[in-house]
C-alpha cells in the first residue's frame, strides 16, 4: 500500500511541462513553424543557458562535462549508489520539430521539479542530461559512454567548424574528452522519453510505446558503371545503361526487406546519375542503401542478399557494380528489467501500451552499450518528425512524463 501511495502522491505538472516545450520551441523558430537549433549555434547556447537556469531552480547541481553534456544532479538518500539517469538532446535538424529530443530533457526537468516541490529525493542519485549535438556528431553520448573517436576529423559538424572549437563554445574541452567517460558503476540505469517519430503507436491507438531496443544500421554506397552514349543512336540491345541497372537494384533492395520473415527496413535514399542529361544513356550511378534491424544476424543476412543481388544484376546488365561500406552501427537492445518497469508503470496508470523497436538513432543507443537502458515512446501525429508538422498531444507528453517518473520510482526501489 505504501508503494502505490508513494507513486500516487508524485504527479507531474503537465501544464508546466508543456509551457516549457513552448518556451524552448521559441528559440530558433523558423517562419514555417519548424525549429532550427543546430548544435553549437547561438540558439543552442541560448537554450542551454535557459535549461541550466531551470535545472538550478529545480534544486539540481549543474555542470558541463568535457563532451559538452549539460548535467543536472540531485543526490540520493543512500550514499554510494549509482545514479538513475534520464535525458535526451535539445539540438535540432535545420527544420526540426518542437518535441524531438527536447521532450525527454524537459520531462526529466519536470521530474526534478516534482521532487523538489515535495521535498523528496530518490534513494539513488538522479540525473537529467541534455546530451551535446545528438543530431550531428553525437559527441555527447559517445563521450560519456567512451565510444567517441579520438580523431577530431571523424566528427563532421553541421557548422563546418572543428569539433575542438565547437566544444569550447558550449563549455566542453576536446583536449580532455576522455574524462567525460563515466565509470561502470556510475549509472544504475538510463531511461529516455522520446516522441516516436513514426506512426505505429497512433495506428495502434496506444499512448505508450515500450521500446525493444534501438536498431543497428548498415549503410553502403553502390557504384554502377555502364557506358554513356547517345540516347537516339544507341540501339537498346547495345546499351550499358547504368540507370536501368540501378532501377533493378532499387527494386531488389525493397524486395529483400519485404520478403524477409522478420521486420527489417531497407532504403535507397540517394541517387546520383552521370551525366544526367535527357539525351544521353546514363553511364554511371551512385546510390545509397540503408539497412536497419534490431538483430545483427538479420543485418548480416540482408547484406549477403544484397551482394548476391548485385552480382546477378551486374552479370545480366553488363554493368560493373561495386559495393562500398559506409558505416556499421551495432543494435542496442533494451534492458529487460527497465522494460518491465516501464510496462508495469504504464499499466498501473491504465494507459494503452505496446512494444516496438526504435528505427531511429538516439542518445540511448550509445549509453545502452555500457549501462541498462530503456526508452519510452509517445505518439507522433501522422508519424511526422523533423518538420514543422511534428506534433504530440499535450496529454501524451504529460502521460509519457508520468510513466517516466513512475518507472524511475520502481527502479529506485528494485535496483
pLDDT tens per residue, range 231-288 = 999 999 999 999 999 999 999 999 999 999 999 999 999 999 999 999 999 999 999 9
More confident residue, 293 or 8: 293
**What is the model's pLDDT at position 2?**
34
- Is 2-214+331-414 in CATH node 3.40.630.10? yes
**What is the model's pLDDT at position 349?**
97
- End-to-end CA distance of the chain, in Å? 20
H or E element that contains 284: strand 284-293
Question: Is the model's pLDDT at 227 over the cut of 70?
Answer: yes
Across 325-332, average pLDDT: 96
| Structure letter (DSSP) for residue 76 | -
Question: Is the model's pLDDT at 104 over the cut of 70?
Answer: yes
Mean pLDDT, the chain, rounded, equals: 96
**What is the model's pLDDT at position 69?**
98
Asked if the domains at 2-214+331-414 and 216-329 fall in one CATH topology, the answer is no
**What is the model's pLDDT at position 223?**
98
Question: Is the model's pLDDT at 4 over the cut of 80?
Answer: no
Question: Is the model's pLDDT at 1 over the cut of 70?
Answer: no
**What is the model's pLDDT at position 9?**
76
C-alpha 386/C-alpha 131 separation (Å) is 18
The domains of the chain are located at 2-214+331-414, 216-329
Question: Sign of dihedral through CA atoms 90, 92, 96, 100?
Answer: negative
pLDDT tens per residue, range 338-373 = 999 999 999 999 999 999 999 999 999 999 999 999
Question: Is the model's pLDDT at 320 over the cut of 90?
Answer: yes
pLDDT tens per residue, range 177-217 = 999 999 999 999 999 999 999 999 999 999 999 999 999 99
C-alpha 368/C-alpha 331 separation (Å) is 10
Which CATH class, in words, describes the domain spanning 216-329? alpha beta
- Owner of C-alpha cell 531511461: 191
pLDDT tens per residue, range 62-87 = 999 999 999 999 999 999 999 999 99
**What is the model's pLDDT at position 8?**
47
Model confidence pTM above 0.85: yes
Is residue 53 packed enough to be buried (19+ CB in 10 Å), middle (13-18) or exposed (0-12)? exposed
Strand partners, 216: 293
Question: Is the model's pLDDT at 42 over the cut of 50?
Answer: yes
Amino acid at each position: 500500500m505504501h508503494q502505490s501511495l508513494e507513486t500516487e502522491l508524485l504527479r507531474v505538472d503537465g501544464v508546466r511541462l508543456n509551457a516549457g516545450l513552448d518556451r524552448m520551441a521559441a528559440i530558433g523558430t523558423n517562419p514555417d513553424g519548424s525549429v532550427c537549433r543546430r548544435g553549437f549555434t547561438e540558439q543552442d547556447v541560448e537554450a542551454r543557458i535557459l535549461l541550466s537556469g531551470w535545472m538550478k531552480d529545480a534544486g539540481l547541481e549543474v555542470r558541463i562535462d568535457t563532451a559538452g553534456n549539460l548535467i543536472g544532479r540531485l543526490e540520493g538518500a543512500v550514499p554510494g549508489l549509482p545514479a538513475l539517469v534520464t535525458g535526451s538532446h535539445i539540438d535540432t535538424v535545420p527544420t526540426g520539430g518542437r518535441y524531438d529530443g527536447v521532450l525527454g530533457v524537459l520531462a526529466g526537468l519536470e521530474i526534478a521539479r516534482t521532487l523538489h516541490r515535495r521535498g523528496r529525493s530518490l534513494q539513488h542519485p538522479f540525473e537529467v542530461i541534455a546530451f551535446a549535438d545528438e543530431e550531428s556528431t553525437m559527441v555527447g553520448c559517445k563521450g560519456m559512454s567512451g565510444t567517441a573517436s579520438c580523431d577530431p576529423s571523424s566528427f563532421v559538424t553541421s557548422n563546418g567548424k572543428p569539433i575542438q572549437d565547437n566544444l569550447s563554445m558550449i563549455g566542453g574541452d576536446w583536449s580532455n574528452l576522455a574524462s567525460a567517460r563515466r565509470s561502470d558503476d556510475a549509472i544504475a540505469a538510463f531511461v529516455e522519453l522520446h516522441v516516436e517519430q513514426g506512426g505505429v503507436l497512433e495506428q495502434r491507438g496506444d499512448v505508450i510505446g515500450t521500446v525493444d531496443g534501438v536498431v543497428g544500421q548498415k549503410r553502403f554506397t553502390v557504384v554502377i558503371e555502364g557506358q554513356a552514349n547517345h540516347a537516339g543512336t544507341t540501339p537498346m540491345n547495345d546499351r550499358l545503361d547504368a540507370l536501368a541497372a540501378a532501377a533493378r537494384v532499387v527494386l531488389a533492395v525493397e524486395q529483400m526487406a519485404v520478403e524477409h520473415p522478420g521486420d527489417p527496413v531497407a532504403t535507397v535514399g540517394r541517387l546520383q546519375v552521370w551525366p544526367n542529361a535527357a539525351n544521353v544513356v546514363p553511364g554511371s550511378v551512385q546510390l545509397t542503401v540503408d539497412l536497419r534491424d534490431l538483430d545483427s544476424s538479420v543485418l548480416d543476412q540482408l547484406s549477403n542478399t544484397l551482394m548476391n543481388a548485385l552480382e546477378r544484376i551486374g552479370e545480366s546488365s553488363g554493368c560493373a557494380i561495386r559495393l562500398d561500406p559506409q558505416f556499421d552501427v551495432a543494435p542496442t537492445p533494451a534492458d529487460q528489467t527497465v522494460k518491465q518497469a516501464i510496462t508495469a508503470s504504464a499499466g498501473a496508470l491504465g494507459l494503452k501500451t505496446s512494444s516496438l523497436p526504435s528505427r531511429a538513432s538516439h542518445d540511448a543507443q550509445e549509453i545502452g552499450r555500457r549501462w541498462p537502458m530503456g526508452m519510452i515512446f509517445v505518439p507522433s501525429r501522422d508519424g511526422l518528425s523533423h518538420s514543422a508538422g511534428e506534433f504530440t498531444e499535450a496529454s501524451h507528453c504529460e502521460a509519457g512524463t508520468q510513466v517516466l517518473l513512475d518507472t524511475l520510482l520502481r527502479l529506485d526501489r528494485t535496483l
